[in-house]
Amino acid sequence: MFASFASFLLAVSVGLSSGAPDPQARATAAGYEQLRGFATVLVTHLNRALGTEHLPPFVGAPVTPGLIVTADPSRVQLFDRFAVPLSAGRVSPPEPSPECASKCPKILFDTFRRWWFELGVESRTHAVEVPDVVLIGAHRDLPAQTLTQIAYAASESRPIQPPRLMLLTHGGPAGVRGIPFYLVRPGGLTLPPNSAALGLTVTIEPGRFVVTAAARSFGRTLSATSVPELVAILKDVHRHHPNKAAIVYRFSGDVSVGNFVATYAAVREEFPVAVLGDDEPITIP
Protein backbone atom coordinates (compact mmCIF):
# COMPACT_ATOMS: atom_id res chain seq x y z
CA MET A 1 0.00 0.00 0.00
CA PHE A 2 2.78 2.42 0.91
CA ALA A 3 6.20 2.94 -0.68
CA SER A 4 7.79 2.41 2.74
CA PHE A 5 6.76 2.21 6.35
CA ALA A 6 7.75 5.86 6.68
CA SER A 7 4.87 6.75 4.37
CA PHE A 8 2.49 5.16 6.86
CA LEU A 9 4.03 7.25 9.64
CA LEU A 10 3.41 10.32 7.55
CA ALA A 11 -0.18 9.24 6.91
CA VAL A 12 -0.75 8.85 10.64
CA SER A 13 0.97 12.15 11.23
CA VAL A 14 -1.55 13.82 8.92
CA GLY A 15 -4.28 12.48 11.18
CA LEU A 16 -2.53 13.60 14.36
CA SER A 17 -0.94 16.91 13.49
CA SER A 18 -2.41 20.21 14.57
CA GLY A 19 0.28 22.82 14.14
CA ALA A 20 3.34 20.75 13.37
CA PRO A 21 5.25 21.38 10.12
CA ASP A 22 3.02 20.37 7.20
CA PRO A 23 3.25 16.56 6.97
CA GLN A 24 1.30 16.45 3.69
CA ALA A 25 3.88 18.66 2.03
CA ARG A 26 6.67 16.43 3.33
CA ALA A 27 4.87 13.33 2.07
CA THR A 28 4.37 14.85 -1.39
CA ALA A 29 7.99 15.94 -1.61
CA ALA A 30 9.15 12.45 -0.62
CA GLY A 31 6.98 10.82 -3.28
CA TYR A 32 4.88 8.73 -0.88
CA GLU A 33 1.45 7.42 -1.72
CA GLN A 34 -1.24 9.28 0.19
CA LEU A 35 -4.73 8.16 1.08
CA ARG A 36 -7.02 10.99 2.10
CA GLY A 37 -7.66 10.89 5.82
CA PHE A 38 -6.62 8.37 8.42
CA ALA A 39 -10.06 6.72 8.35
CA THR A 40 -9.44 5.79 4.71
CA VAL A 41 -6.01 4.39 5.56
CA LEU A 42 -7.51 2.36 8.40
CA VAL A 43 -10.45 0.88 6.51
CA THR A 44 -8.33 0.11 3.44
CA HIS A 45 -5.78 -1.76 5.51
CA LEU A 46 -8.37 -3.60 7.61
CA ASN A 47 -10.16 -4.83 4.51
CA ARG A 48 -6.91 -6.09 3.03
CA ALA A 49 -5.64 -7.74 6.20
CA LEU A 50 -8.82 -8.94 7.90
CA GLY A 51 -12.10 -7.69 6.49
CA THR A 52 -14.02 -5.17 8.55
CA GLU A 53 -17.02 -7.51 8.54
CA HIS A 54 -15.02 -9.88 10.78
CA LEU A 55 -14.58 -7.29 13.53
CA PRO A 56 -16.89 -7.74 16.55
CA PRO A 57 -20.11 -5.73 16.08
CA PHE A 58 -20.50 -2.74 18.35
CA VAL A 59 -20.99 1.01 17.89
CA GLY A 60 -18.10 2.21 20.01
CA ALA A 61 -16.19 5.46 20.23
CA PRO A 62 -14.71 7.34 17.26
CA VAL A 63 -11.31 5.98 16.30
CA THR A 64 -8.21 7.95 17.22
CA PRO A 65 -5.36 7.87 14.65
CA GLY A 66 -2.71 5.39 15.67
CA LEU A 67 -0.68 2.34 14.73
CA ILE A 68 -2.61 -0.61 13.39
CA VAL A 69 -2.35 -4.22 14.57
CA THR A 70 -4.57 -6.92 13.08
CA ALA A 71 -5.11 -10.45 14.37
CA ASP A 72 -7.06 -13.35 12.92
CA PRO A 73 -6.87 -17.04 13.87
CA SER A 74 -3.77 -17.53 11.68
CA ARG A 75 -1.53 -14.52 12.44
CA VAL A 76 -0.89 -11.24 14.19
CA GLN A 77 0.18 -8.52 11.76
CA LEU A 78 1.82 -5.25 12.78
CA PHE A 79 0.60 -3.06 9.97
CA ASP A 80 2.22 -4.57 6.86
CA ARG A 81 5.71 -5.21 8.20
CA PHE A 82 5.81 -7.95 10.81
CA ALA A 83 3.66 -10.99 11.39
CA VAL A 84 3.51 -13.56 14.18
CA PRO A 85 1.95 -16.92 13.25
CA LEU A 86 -0.93 -18.24 15.32
CA SER A 87 -2.26 -21.76 15.64
CA ALA A 88 -6.06 -21.73 15.96
CA GLY A 89 -5.73 -18.21 17.30
CA ARG A 90 -3.07 -19.11 19.89
CA VAL A 91 0.50 -17.83 19.99
CA SER A 92 2.99 -20.55 19.14
CA PRO A 93 5.46 -21.06 20.70
CA PRO A 94 3.86 -19.74 23.92
CA GLU A 95 7.07 -19.43 25.97
CA PRO A 96 6.98 -16.21 28.03
CA SER A 97 9.50 -13.44 27.56
CA PRO A 98 11.76 -12.89 30.60
CA GLU A 99 11.52 -9.16 29.84
CA CYS A 100 7.71 -9.10 29.92
CA ALA A 101 6.41 -8.72 33.48
CA SER A 102 3.00 -10.03 32.44
CA LYS A 103 4.65 -13.17 31.00
CA CYS A 104 3.48 -12.34 27.48
CA PRO A 105 4.87 -14.68 24.78
CA LYS A 106 8.49 -13.99 23.81
CA ILE A 107 7.75 -14.08 20.09
CA LEU A 108 5.13 -11.34 20.50
CA PHE A 109 7.26 -9.18 22.81
CA ASP A 110 10.34 -9.38 20.57
CA THR A 111 8.31 -8.57 17.44
CA PHE A 112 6.68 -5.53 19.02
CA ARG A 113 9.98 -4.33 20.44
CA ARG A 114 11.57 -4.51 16.97
CA TRP A 115 8.58 -2.63 15.57
CA TRP A 116 8.88 0.19 18.10
CA PHE A 117 12.62 0.42 17.41
CA GLU A 118 12.15 0.73 13.66
CA LEU A 119 9.36 3.27 14.16
CA GLY A 120 11.69 5.33 16.33
CA VAL A 121 14.45 5.27 13.72
CA GLU A 122 12.14 6.20 10.84
CA SER A 123 10.36 8.89 12.85
CA ARG A 124 13.67 10.61 13.57
CA THR A 125 14.76 10.25 9.96
CA HIS A 126 11.59 11.75 8.56
CA ALA A 127 10.80 14.19 11.38
CA VAL A 128 7.40 12.75 12.26
CA GLU A 129 6.06 11.67 15.64
CA VAL A 130 5.53 8.06 16.65
CA PRO A 131 1.84 7.88 17.65
CA ASP A 132 1.09 6.74 21.18
CA VAL A 133 -2.09 4.87 20.26
CA VAL A 134 -2.28 1.21 19.21
CA LEU A 135 -5.43 0.15 17.36
CA ILE A 136 -6.09 -3.59 17.52
CA GLY A 137 -8.30 -5.02 14.81
CA ALA A 138 -9.08 -8.52 16.09
CA HIS A 139 -11.24 -11.13 14.37
CA ARG A 140 -14.34 -11.71 16.46
CA ASP A 141 -13.46 -15.43 16.71
CA LEU A 142 -9.93 -14.78 18.03
CA PRO A 143 -9.43 -16.13 21.58
CA ALA A 144 -9.76 -13.21 23.97
CA GLN A 145 -6.68 -14.42 25.85
CA THR A 146 -4.66 -13.77 22.69
CA LEU A 147 -6.02 -10.21 22.57
CA THR A 148 -4.79 -9.70 26.14
CA GLN A 149 -1.34 -11.05 25.25
CA ILE A 150 -1.11 -8.76 22.22
CA ALA A 151 -2.05 -5.74 24.32
CA TYR A 152 0.54 -6.52 27.00
CA ALA A 153 3.28 -7.18 24.44
CA ALA A 154 2.54 -3.89 22.64
CA SER A 155 2.50 -1.96 25.92
CA GLU A 156 5.48 -3.46 27.73
CA SER A 157 7.77 -3.34 24.70
CA ARG A 158 7.22 0.37 23.98
CA PRO A 159 10.08 2.50 25.33
CA ILE A 160 9.46 5.27 27.87
CA GLN A 161 5.66 5.18 28.08
CA PRO A 162 3.01 2.54 27.29
CA PRO A 163 0.61 3.39 24.45
CA ARG A 164 -3.09 4.00 24.71
CA LEU A 165 -5.09 1.02 23.48
CA MET A 166 -8.26 0.68 21.43
CA LEU A 167 -10.03 -2.47 20.24
CA LEU A 168 -11.63 -1.88 16.84
CA THR A 169 -15.26 -2.83 16.21
CA HIS A 170 -17.69 -2.90 13.30
CA GLY A 171 -20.20 -0.13 13.89
CA GLY A 172 -22.50 -0.90 10.97
CA PRO A 173 -23.47 2.35 9.21
CA ALA A 174 -21.23 4.22 11.69
CA GLY A 175 -18.19 2.48 10.18
CA VAL A 176 -15.16 1.30 12.11
CA ARG A 177 -15.38 2.30 15.77
CA GLY A 178 -13.49 1.31 18.88
CA ILE A 179 -13.48 0.45 22.58
CA PRO A 180 -10.69 2.19 24.53
CA PHE A 181 -9.33 -0.17 27.17
CA TYR A 182 -6.66 -0.42 29.83
CA LEU A 183 -4.49 -3.13 31.34
CA VAL A 184 -3.91 -4.23 34.90
CA ARG A 185 -0.37 -3.22 35.81
CA PRO A 186 2.02 -5.99 34.71
CA GLY A 187 2.88 -8.14 37.68
CA GLY A 188 -0.25 -7.13 39.58
CA LEU A 189 -1.58 -4.18 41.54
CA THR A 190 -1.65 -3.66 45.30
CA LEU A 191 -3.84 -0.83 46.56
CA PRO A 192 -3.55 0.78 50.02
CA PRO A 193 -5.83 -0.55 52.79
CA ASN A 194 -7.79 2.71 52.92
CA SER A 195 -8.35 2.69 49.17
CA ALA A 196 -11.90 3.27 47.98
CA ALA A 197 -11.27 0.98 45.01
CA LEU A 198 -13.52 -2.01 44.46
CA GLY A 199 -11.37 -4.05 42.07
CA LEU A 200 -14.45 -5.53 40.41
CA THR A 201 -13.53 -8.46 38.16
CA VAL A 202 -15.59 -10.45 35.67
CA THR A 203 -14.00 -13.70 34.51
CA ILE A 204 -15.63 -14.87 31.30
CA GLU A 205 -15.55 -18.65 30.97
CA PRO A 206 -17.25 -20.84 28.37
CA GLY A 207 -20.89 -20.73 29.41
CA ARG A 208 -20.29 -18.92 32.70
CA PHE A 209 -19.41 -15.55 34.23
CA VAL A 210 -17.72 -15.25 37.62
CA VAL A 211 -17.90 -11.93 39.48
CA THR A 212 -15.42 -11.13 42.26
CA ALA A 213 -13.83 -8.02 43.78
CA ALA A 214 -10.59 -7.22 45.60
CA ALA A 215 -12.28 -5.13 48.30
CA ARG A 216 -12.92 -7.13 51.47
CA SER A 217 -16.27 -5.39 51.84
CA PHE A 218 -17.49 -7.20 48.71
CA GLY A 219 -16.89 -10.54 50.42
CA ARG A 220 -18.50 -12.93 47.96
CA THR A 221 -18.18 -14.68 44.61
CA LEU A 222 -21.14 -14.48 42.27
CA SER A 223 -21.76 -16.39 39.07
CA ALA A 224 -24.09 -16.21 36.09
CA THR A 225 -24.77 -18.52 33.17
CA SER A 226 -26.17 -15.91 30.78
CA VAL A 227 -25.55 -12.30 29.85
CA PRO A 228 -28.95 -11.10 31.17
CA GLU A 229 -28.19 -12.78 34.51
CA LEU A 230 -24.77 -11.10 34.59
CA VAL A 231 -26.37 -7.73 33.82
CA ALA A 232 -28.78 -8.15 36.74
CA ILE A 233 -25.90 -8.97 39.10
CA LEU A 234 -23.85 -5.97 37.98
CA LYS A 235 -26.80 -3.61 38.21
CA ASP A 236 -27.14 -4.65 41.84
CA VAL A 237 -23.40 -4.15 42.40
CA HIS A 238 -23.66 -0.70 40.86
CA ARG A 239 -26.53 0.24 43.16
CA HIS A 240 -24.31 -0.51 46.15
CA HIS A 241 -21.19 1.07 44.58
CA PRO A 242 -22.57 3.89 42.38
CA ASN A 243 -19.25 5.69 41.91
CA LYS A 244 -17.43 2.72 40.40
CA ALA A 245 -17.06 2.62 36.62
CA ALA A 246 -14.44 -0.05 35.82
CA ILE A 247 -14.50 -3.81 35.36
CA VAL A 248 -11.40 -5.96 35.03
CA TYR A 249 -12.08 -8.65 32.42
CA ARG A 250 -10.28 -11.98 32.48
CA PHE A 251 -10.81 -14.81 30.02
CA SER A 252 -10.47 -18.58 30.02
CA GLY A 253 -10.80 -21.38 27.53
CA ASP A 254 -12.16 -20.59 24.08
CA VAL A 255 -13.88 -17.33 25.03
CA SER A 256 -13.56 -15.10 21.98
CA VAL A 257 -13.10 -11.41 21.33
CA GLY A 258 -16.70 -11.41 20.13
CA ASN A 259 -17.84 -12.83 23.49
CA PHE A 260 -15.94 -10.09 25.32
CA VAL A 261 -17.40 -7.28 23.20
CA ALA A 262 -20.94 -8.64 23.57
CA THR A 263 -20.47 -8.75 27.36
CA TYR A 264 -19.01 -5.25 27.47
CA ALA A 265 -21.86 -3.91 25.32
CA ALA A 266 -24.41 -5.36 27.76
CA VAL A 267 -22.87 -3.89 30.95
CA ARG A 268 -21.25 -0.65 29.76
CA GLU A 269 -24.12 1.55 30.91
CA GLU A 270 -23.14 0.89 34.53
CA PHE A 271 -19.46 0.07 33.97
CA PRO A 272 -18.11 1.88 30.87
CA VAL A 273 -14.39 1.41 31.62
CA ALA A 274 -12.86 -1.86 30.39
CA VAL A 275 -9.61 -3.16 31.90
CA LEU A 276 -8.03 -6.39 30.69
CA GLY A 277 -5.88 -8.65 32.81
CA ASP A 278 -4.40 -12.11 32.61
CA ASP A 279 -3.07 -13.55 35.89
CA GLU A 280 -2.13 -10.17 37.36
CA PRO A 281 -3.55 -10.06 40.90
CA ILE A 282 -5.35 -7.05 42.36
CA THR A 283 -5.06 -6.93 46.15
CA ILE A 284 -6.22 -4.59 48.89
CA PRO A 285 -4.51 -5.61 52.21
102-155 pLDDT tens trace: 999 999 999 999 999 988 887 777 667 778 899 999 999 999 999 999 999 999
pLDDT surpassing 80 at residue 45: yes
Q: Which residue has the higher pLDDT, 242 or 25?
A: 242
Q: How far apart are CA 43 and CA 39, in angstroms?
A: 6
pLDDT at 283: 87
pLDDT for 191: 82
**91 has a pLDDT exceeding 90:** yes
| 281: three-class secondary structure by DSSP | coil
Distance CA 51, CA 217 (A): 46
Helical pair 38-49 and 5-16, crossing angle rounded to 10 deg:
140
284 versus 103: the higher-pLDDT residue is 103
Q: Cα dist. 169→15, 166, 185 in Å?
A: 20, 9, 25
DSSP bridge partners of 175: none
Which pLDDT band, with edges at 50, 70 and 90, does 25 fall under? low
Of 230 and 40, the one with more pLDDT: 230
Question: Using DSSP, how many helices (H) and how many strands (E) does the chain show?
Answer: 7, 14
Predicted local distance difference test score (pLDDT) of residue 4: 45
pLDDT value for 223: 97
Q: Angle CA(77)–CA(80)–CA(86) in degrees, nearest 5?
A: 20
Q: Is the pLDDT score of 36 beyond 80? A: no
Torsion of CA 72, 78, 80, 83, to 10 degrees: -60
Domain borders along the chain are: 5-181, 189-283
Q: How confident is the model at residue 9 (pLDDT cuts 50, 70, 90)?
A: very low
Query: Does residue 15 register a pLDDT over 70?
Result: no
Q: What pLDDT does residue 59 have?
A: 96
Does 281 or 21 have the greater pLDDT score? 281
Average pLDDT over residues 49-59: 96
Q: What is the pLDDT of residue 194?
A: 74
The CATH homologous superfamily for domain 189-283 is ATPase, nucleotide binding domain (3.30.420.40)
pLDDT in tens, 158-211: 988 899 999 999 999 999 999 999 999 998 888 887 777 889 999 999 999 999
Weakest mean pLDDT among 10-14, 79-83, 235-239, 250-254: 10-14
Q: Say what the pLDDT of residue 71 is.
A: 97
Q: Does 10 score more than 70 pLDDT?
A: no
pLDDT of 238 higher than 60: yes
Q: Per-residue pLDDT for 26 more than 90? A: no
pLDDT computed for residue 5 by the predictor: 47
Any residues with CB less than 8 A from the CB of 77 and at least 6 apart, and which? 49, 69, 70, 71, 83
**How sure is the predictor about 7, in pLDDT bands with cuts at 50, 70 and 90?**
very low
pLDDT mean over 253-270: 97
